[in-house]
Amino acid sequence: MDYSIFRVVKEALRNHKGWGPAWRNPQPKPSYDILIVGGGGHGLATAFYLASRYGLRNIGVLEKGWLGGGNVGRNTTIVRSNYMLPGNEPFYELSMKLWEGLEQELNYNAMVSQRGVLNLCHSDAQRDAFRRRGNAMLLQGADAELLNTDGVRELYPYLNFDDARFPILGGLLQRRGGTVRHDAVAWGYARAADRLGVDLIQNCEVLDFRIENGVVSGVETSRGFIGATKVGVAVAGSSSRLMSKVGIDLPIESHVLQAFVSEGLKPLIPGVITFGAGHFYISQSDKGGLVFGGDIDGYNSYASRGNLPVVEDVCEGAMGLMPMLGRARLLRSWGGIMDMSMDGSPFIDRTAIPGLFFNGGWCYGGFKATPASGLCFAHLLATGSSHEVAAQMRLDRFVRGAMIDEKGQGAQPNLH
């Protein structure tokens, strides 16, 4: 049944006794046409677009825990399309457009809030680089505005403008960027996919792939064998672990990224601000907590928790940008495991094994990519060829010298 204001009023008059579960909890069938491994944002979005845009049925999604229990529920909820390179920007701009129509498409309130993402600059060189990036964004149909100090001051008068080391000289503003309620994205895609007949199977961990005559024929799971003609893997954070079962080494290192939230405060930060001198970004949730984060810890980790030096570094960034944050108390911090790729860009590609497809390597930018990742992965699974905006996100781009390296850091994952 559709969610609507009329439904809310009707249920209010009936003591809310008519609400049912948002999705079924089916037993796995013996086999599916397409199996998606990973019931996070990207996996659920893939299943939804396979059913809605490509008209496919008989699709299963396998999740080892509960839907949306991984990185889609652990990120800092920022969406933006402020990339520069031709291999990236059209993809992220498609994602931005899909975010804009997401709630109507899913009939689910994902709290999409286009409150603006502002990247601050602190030197002439950085402003030049932002101007170039802003122009690249405009050329790809995104929006971008270069602000001078006064423009930034109008939005955020309380920033530390006259810092001796890192004065704020301006910023690159994308007004269409913002935040989205991360859990609701997973739930919205799950409900919409389920309504189109996709089986969402939770507590079902994929332990291995079954390969027959060199072709994938299904997966071994904690709930037994499930057959499939095509298997799409979307398990960022565990990509290397799972793909190593079939002997595939990936251009990925796993790193831990921490995020933080303060106690609830009165409305203070209307948009998203990123500090250009360190790695620090901050926004305020609708509940009032300041949500912020910074760099990855910098060494391989599957521990889902970070160490204190990065906590200190993030808090230094906070104090450098907004000294008044020193009065706020930290409520929680947590960590998530990132697929850090060798050039900082993701992969949506087939593998050397026919029928086995891979989606991963999202570094710490996977959340904003969720809709486009799902659509492009669905395109690849349904048609066998890459979607035009994801055509460069290939696993073999390193041997071809066709890296998509926004920062130009080279094959050093902890610098991306």
Partner 1 sequence: MLINHPLLGLRDAQEFVYKGDASLLQRPQCESDNALDAFTNYAYLRSNPAGLHQELWYHEQGDRSWLVVTRNTLTHEIVNVELASEVDA
Interface positions with partner 1 (CB under 8 A): 240-241, 244, 249-254, 298-303, 307, 309, 342, 398-399, 411-414
Nearer to partner 1, 19 or 299 (CB): 299
Nearer to partner 1, 284 or 345 (CB): 345
Nearer to partner 1, 110 or 242 (CB): 242
Please state, in angstroms and rounded to a whole number, the distance separating the CA atoms of residues 235 and 225: 19
Nearer to partner 1, 1 or 399 (CB): 399
**Shortest distance, CB of residue 65 to partner 1, whole angstroms?**
16
Please state, in angstroms and rounded to a whole number, the distance separating the CA atoms of residues 297 and 342: 16
**Shortest distance, CB of residue 194 to partner 1, whole angstroms?**
31
Nearer to partner 1, 324 or 411 (CB): 411
- Please enumerate in sequence order all residues whose Cβ is within 8 A of that of 66, keeping only pairs 6 or more positions apart, or say none: 39, 202, 203
Nearer to partner 1, 150 or 249 (CB): 249
Of 346, 361, 343, the C-alpha closest to 406 is 343
**Shortest distance, CB of residue 41 to partner 1, whole angstroms?**
22
**16 by DSSP, 3-state: which?**
coil
**Shortest distance, CB of residue 71 to partner 1, whole angstroms?**
16
The structure tokens listed for 185 are: 């994205």
Residue 175: exposure state from Cβ atoms within 10 A (0-12, 13-18, ≥19) = middle
**Shortest distance, CB of residue 124 to partner 1, whole angstroms?**
29
User: What does the DSSP assignment read for 259-278?
Assistant: EEEEEE-SS---SEEEETTT
Please state, in angstroms and rounded to a whole number, the distance separating the CA atoms of residues 410 and 416: 9
**Shortest distance, CB of residue 344 to partner 1, whole angstroms?**
13
Residue 98 CB neighbour total at 10 angstroms: 18
Nearer to partner 1, 158 or 299 (CB): 299
Give the CB-side neighbour count of residue 330, counting CA atoms within 13 A: 13
**85 by DSSP, 3-state: which?**
coil
Nearer to partner 1, 229 or 414 (CB): 414
Residue 190: exposure state from Cβ atoms within 10 A (0-12, 13-18, ≥19) = buried
**Shortest distance, CB of residue 414 to partner 1, whole angstroms?**
6
DSSP state letter for 113: B
**Shortest distance, CB of residue 416 to partner 1, whole angstroms?**
13
**Shortest distance, CB of residue 9 to partner 1, whole angstroms?**
50
Nearer to partner 1, 244 or 385 (CB): 244
Contact 148/167 with Cβ under 8 angstroms? no
Please state, in angstroms and rounded to a whole number, the distance separating the CA atoms of residues 313 and 305: 16
